[in-house]
Amino acid sequence: MSLSLEGKTCLVTGGSRGIGKAIALRLAEFGADVAITYARSADAAEEVKEEIEKLGRKAKALQADAVDLARTEEVIAELVDDWGKIDIIVNNAGITKDNLILRMNEEQWDDVINTNLKSIFNYSKAAAKPMMRNRGGSIINISSVVGISGNAGQSNYAASKAGIIGFTKSYAKELASRNIRANVVAPGYILTDMTDQLDEKVLQGIKDETPLGRAGNAEEVADAVVFLASDMSSYVTGEVIRVDGGMAM
Ligand code: NAD
């Protein structure tokens, strides 16, 4: 067994920046052909596509709102038509709209639950049949330590990220007999655009609560994804791997 992803085809949602971009490039470095989806940033997505191609792999950048099931089905159909199969899906697209519960409005709740949770249902569902035909696959869903421990001011995000864990374990049980594995990566505090919005005091507090004493980087999350994508994890399903410097242990 090896970590090689040579001959594998992958899709990473929200792959134009941050953790999704790092995952897309890491998968390509390990030999996979990689498609990314993006919501709005066509230029950034095109740059990631070109970086993947420079690594000698096939690449696609597809505009697709992850909440839209019909568009999700089109994306999976295009990949199967053009590349013959889909081996690995990384459900990375996600958003935050933080507020205290007493101040949280319906839109903040609905947007976060819908984007973070329905997107995972959409791609996992759409990929299931092609993966069954191909006699196997690996789904990797990006949750968060906030889905494990909760966080004041992030009840919508915590609920969505905890929901991802429950969904993934159910999916893993339903599809194990088809050799389809499903696992979760739960990052802690990772330096990206998402965490750039946090103020200095909050960031220092997060670092103080992290046993390894520092923020993580997107590549460290991507490394866990490579393991779960590869045959090195062939007996691992329904698992949650925290990449959090020990924050939620
Ligand atoms: P980011 O905001 O930099 O990137 C999120 C990506 O998701 C963007 O490319 C965005 O366009 C895409 N996206 C959002 N809504 C979408 C939609 N409806 N359809 C398609 N794409 C959509 O954030 P990031 O920090 O790179 O986070 C990536 C994932 O990791 C998210 O699921 C996030 O919740 C999770 N996460 C991040 C951290 C962190 O510290 N950065 C910690 C734990 C978990």
Specify the pTM.
0.98
Is residue 1 one of the residues assigned to a domain?
no
pLDDT at 194 over 80: no
Residue from 90, 192, 207 to probe ligand 1 pocket by mutation (most atoms less than 8 Å from CB): 192
Q: How does residue 158 score in pLDDT terms, banded at 50, 70 and 90?
A: very high
CATH for 188: 3.40.50.720
pLDDT at 111: 98
Question: How far is Cα 19 from Cα 24, in angstroms, rounded to an integer?
Answer: 9
Query: ipTM of the assembly?
Result: 0.99
Domain residues for the domain of 85 are 9-243
* 3-state SS class at 35: strand
As for how many domains the chain has, the answer is 1
CA atoms within 13 A on the CB side of 95: 17
* 174-202 b/e (C-beta count within 10 Å ≥ 16 → b): ebeebebbbbbbbbbbbebeebeeeeeee
CA 173 to the chain's CA centroid: 20
Given CA atoms 217, 219, 220, 225 in this order, what sign does their dihedral have?
positive
Is residue 4 one of the residues assigned to a domain?
no
Tell me the pLDDT tens digit for each residue of 36-72. 999 999 999 999 999 999 999 999 999 999 999 999 9
- Ligand 1, residue 161: give the atom nearest the CA: 34
Taking CA atoms only, the protein residue closest to ligand 1 atom 31 is: 94
Q: How does residue 208 score in pLDDT terms, banded at 50, 70 and 90?
A: very high
Q: What is the mean pLDDT of residues 134-154?
A: 98
Is residue 156 one of the residues assigned to a domain?
yes
Taking CA atoms only, the protein residue closest to ligand 1 atom 29 is: 92
pLDDT at 232 over 90: yes
Is residue 49 one of the residues assigned to a domain?
yes
